Structure 1
């Protein structure tokens, strides 16, 4: 078969690039929502105070801290999103393609490959997510600190106090400054805060992509039988992606909340000291002693004791809105980015250079 008639497929590296670019695009579109949901998750609800909705919090941040506060940590988050998604899509595509190739070798010649089982999709997603987490979590820790701002571990406030600051303290929230501060306080290991719940949460993208691929294969099979094509439309990708991400978020949300509090170090705070700060305090200078930080189960245990099971789902609405919009946009844009990447690969191939093509 000639090179111009042979169908081209993206290698794991090219598929990862397309996925990462799509993820950055979707995250950038909804970024203020990401900042708001992270702040809601990071600190416990104060007694006698109602939770702010995500959109009400966005307005509050805009009025009190300005427009740029809604984009705090944007650079670190984009770097984290790109690196995390690139690593995830690379490992996911590589492991999935290897698994399919292994199955294909066992089939009779000319037989079509059956859809992967849900269990296989979940396992592949979990392996890919775990590998990606290990390599990218330091950027996630820095991005979380920048989004939440500086929180105070031990404070004594009069009842009419609404803001806290350290005299003559200059706050530098740049990427390198926050990284340097974390290393000073915690050592290099501080950049891997939340790695344990992060590894547990690899089941989140596993559920998302496992469910997405399963529903997608069933939908395409139905479309093929009906003679209506063999591709999903953008809106079908949006709907399937939304449903998949919602299910994954509901199942894993308590650990999502615990991970954010561990990374922001709000899990170290004495909750009773926050009663006069309102729902979401403004950014403050960190004032932490070097202590052993609580794990995810410790965080969930304290929340259960203080607020009940409902406390495990504080901010879930914000998480779902942001995650569903971002994930659905990702699924929609990823298809387009894959086409653009494939077109670019074809152009390179015509120039007798064939990276990313198999």
Structure 2
């Protein structure tokens, strides 16, 4: 881009901004679903068995939160989640656009001048997406840990927490929070704000506690890789079909899917990625919420009030493979997919909204870049 010319297309930073804005929008729309699915996923196998019932569905969890915590309960950790969404989406889209553009540029350099680069293979899309996701995870996971803890909530924040624990209708999701609450500071010392939760994590586990779930998080980089890889492949096939049907040269590189078609392709892509990676998604939530640690302490016959002391003595948290092995022993293959319907509902709607609004947010991001360019020229 020359100094005398305004930007005509988005740079990797511009694509990152568009993706981050779109991600925040789509997640804000479905945020109550996000809180409900996190609480369902955090429920351990043992707590499900205590009341003889399966983990409640998303609608029941939402209604229970509304009844006991009000509208505010459906927006626990909203600020942290939006920060996490913006930073994660920005980092992912930036790295994805950067590595993909660099890779395509290298492919074109090996071809005769004027030759169009061939579409990337599925394997190449997956690898590029995984690299971008891994880089984004490393930088953004601390905010994810804080957001998860806030979404789970604490019974000390609820006036009827004691009554809830003894009520016959108590759910497994609420029992998980009761276990966690046993070793927390007294109510007057507890701060559930963003920095309060961060301080609690650092005080109890050190700075490394902010990176809980990093290993399964790195494994889960294949999730956006599968999502965007499948999306790009299906999109390229549909656009090629449109060009062929309309005649040669009708669409070209400027052809785009309609918002509704983008919604459908995005939903299909995200569903595929969620089904493939769901066991690790569940394990990651339990690690970050520390419900898996509480479950292990109970299996070791540790009194509930000594759960955190148990963690300090062993200095290690339960790993994802241990969680999956324990769940397999108790509930088999079905246990790995506890709460998957809630995950798919939230993830598919959010991702589909993101894909459907992606082009619009790219236009806005380009407009912002042009405005900043003009302001800089004016002040220069």
TM-score (structure 1 length as normaliser) = 0.88
Q: Matched residues in 2 for 1:114 and 1:125: separation? A: 18
What's 1:241 paired with?
266
Q: Which structure is higher in helix share?
A: 2
Q: Matched residues in 2 for 1:147 and 1:103: separation? A: 45
Please report how far the alpha carbon of residue 287 of structure 1 lies from its aligned counterpart in structure 2 after TM superposition. 5.8
Please report how far the alpha carbon of residue 50 of structure 1 lies from its aligned counterpart in structure 2 after TM superposition. 2.3
Please report how far the alpha carbon of residue 115 of structure 1 lies from its aligned counterpart in structure 2 after TM superposition. 0.8
Please report how far the alpha carbon of residue 346 of structure 1 lies from its aligned counterpart in structure 2 after TM superposition. 3.4
Q: Compared with structure 1, are the counterparts of its residues 175 and 272 closer, same or farther at alpha carbon in structure 2 (3 Å cutoff)?
A: closer
What's 1:31 paired with?
31
Aligned-residue RMSD, C-alpha: 2.9
Counterparts of 1:221-236 in structure 2, within 5 Å, are 221-227=240-246, 229=251, 230-236=255-261
Which of 96, 102, 120 lines up with 1:92 in the alignment? 96
Q: Secondary structure of 1:308's match?
A: helix
Asked if structure 1 preserves the Cα contact closer than 8 Å seen for 2:6 and 2:374, the reply is no
What's 1:250 paired with?
275
Counterparts of 1:312-351 in structure 2, within 5 Å, are 312-349=336-373
Q: Matched residues in 1 for 2:116 and 2:194: separation? A: 49
Please report how far the alpha carbon of residue 51 of structure 1 lies from its aligned counterpart in structure 2 after TM superposition. 2.1
Asked if structure 2 preserves the Cα contact closer than 8 Å seen for 1:150 and 1:286, the reply is no
Query: CA offsets, 1:170-213, max 9 Å, x none?
Result: 33210111000001111100000000000000000000000001
Q: Matched residues in 1 for 2:353 and 2:289: separation? A: 27
Q: Compared with structure 1, are the counterparts of its residues 2 and 149 closer, same or farther at alpha carbon in structure 2 (3 Å cutoff)?
A: closer
Query: CA offsets, 1:287-324, max 9 Å, x none?
Result: 62224211000000111111111110000000000000
Q: Matched residues in 1 for 2:294 and 2:2: separation? A: 65
Moved more, 226-235 or 123-132: 226-235
Counterparts of 1:74-93 in structure 2, within 5 Å, are 74-93=78-97
User: Does residue 72 in structure 1 map to residue 50 in structure 2?
Assistant: no
Please report how far the alpha carbon of residue 56 of structure 1 lies from its aligned counterpart in structure 2 after TM superposition. 1.4
- Number of residue pairs matched? 341
Q: Compared with structure 1, are the counterparts of its residues 102 and 174 closer, same or farther at alpha carbon in structure 2 (3 Å cutoff)?
A: same
User: Does residue 209 in structure 1 map to residue 213 in structure 2?
Assistant: no
Runs (4+) off by over 6 Å: 1-7, 271-274
Counterparts of 1:268-287 in structure 2, within 5 Å, are 268-270=293-295
Moved more, 334-343 or 188-197: 334-343
What's 1:105 paired with?
109
Asked if structure 1 preserves the Cα contact closer than 8 Å seen for 2:38 and 2:285, the reply is yes
What's 2:55 paired with?
51
Which of 174, 192, 204 lines up with 1:173 in the alignment? 192
Q: Compared with structure 1, are the counterparts of its residues 306 and 151 closer, same or farther at alpha carbon in structure 2 (3 Å cutoff)?
A: farther
Asked if structure 2 preserves the Cα contact closer than 8 Å seen for 1:151 and 1:285, the reply is no
Q: Secondary structure of 2:197's match?
A: helix
